[in-house]
Copies of this chain bind each other. A is one copy, B any other.
């Protein structure tokens, strides 16, 4: 019986998996949090919650985020979601219509492309370099299109691991105000910073009430909780809280919110995030070192400064989709670059993830990968 989303063959090392390992999940912390919350003789977390999310939870979350972002977060600018994906889904419903044009990065989060395709949105892609989304390319496309929104992963990008520089954040927010498009910033990796402090989330740069920043407990606590937030100006959040959907459901995850409130109050979330950052920083270095040791020099990548991923570029003309057919029988796998392209490009690239496996498997995976490279 399949329990979790992932179902891997026994000896496979799948460096394409973008999930935390089961062994890293905070079972003890959640047990402590549940005991703490459910011993308080307060049944209100079991009732329909306020549409925006419980106020005490939003206060504690704002405090936690203010520390993590090094900038003040207003609890009234937080809307609690059932995960970042659900947040993105809500934004597609309430801020776009089928047939609308949206801009995405090339590469971009591959499952967001599926979501946008399901919504019949027209996708226009924008290139990315070492400092993130290239603003000049955005300006050019704005002369041709009027997008409903720009979808960006500004910090520790999925899959390319780059971070949008502070000056570009300023310019992106300015263009958004000037051209009246929304920015949907998928910032779920922001708090997983290993070797740098990234610029604050895009919401911080918002001048025209045009930025929706998506956050999630999936990357910092546990995916199965289905808990996240949208950080945005009040008028944007009101479009959500006054929707029929929210009036009918009440808050999107009040019970789980109340348990996660306990993880914040008891310092368990802080402890777990510290543990994850230490673990992932180490794994990131192990994967980088192994790639440098085993792969041919024509294969290039940048060492990640945070997040989950390394984006590997093979020589032009290589096809990682085909390479995967050779790799799988050798018990190694990865995400081919084409999955992250909205126009069948990036075929010489691949995404590797360093959070799912421990050091030995990471090194063995790279050894196997080197064995199938020509």
Contacts and interface: CB of A to CB of B under 8 A. Distances in A.
Interface in A53-95: 54-56, 82-83, 85-86, 88-89, 93-94
Interface in A315-364: none
Given A3-B55, A5-B49, A50-B4, A118 B94 contact: yes
A93 B111 contact: no
A47 B5 contact: yes
Interface extent on A, as a size class?
35 or more
A26 interface: yes
A22 B46 CA distance: 8
Interface string A185-200: 0000000000000000
Interface string A1-25: 1111110000000000001101101
Most buried by B among A48, A89, A223: A48
Interface string A172-186: 000000000000000
A247 B115 CA distance: 9
Contacts of A19: 47-48
A42 B256 CA distance: 18
A233 B115 CA distance: 23
Number of this chain's copies in the complex: 2
A116 B244 CA distance: 8
Interface stretch (A27-35, A132-140, A149-157, A201-209): A27-35
B252 A1 contact: no
A122 interface: no
A261 to B, nearest CB: 11
Given A1-B56, A93-B93, 18 more contacts: A5-B48, A19-B47, A20-B47, A27-B42, A30-B255, A46-B224, A47-B223, A47-B224, A48-B224, A49-B224, A82-B226, A85-B245, A86-B249, A88-B248, A114-B247, A118-B245, A224-B255, A225-B255
Sort A-B residue pairs by CB-CB distance and give the 6 closest, nearest first. A114-B244, A115-B244, A46-B222, A111-B248, A25-B43, A31-B38
Interface of A: 1-6, 19-20, 22-23, 25-27, 30-31, 34-35, 38-39, 41-51, 54-56, 82-83, 85-86, 88-89, 93-94, 97-98, 111-120, 218, 222-226, 243-245, 247-256, 258
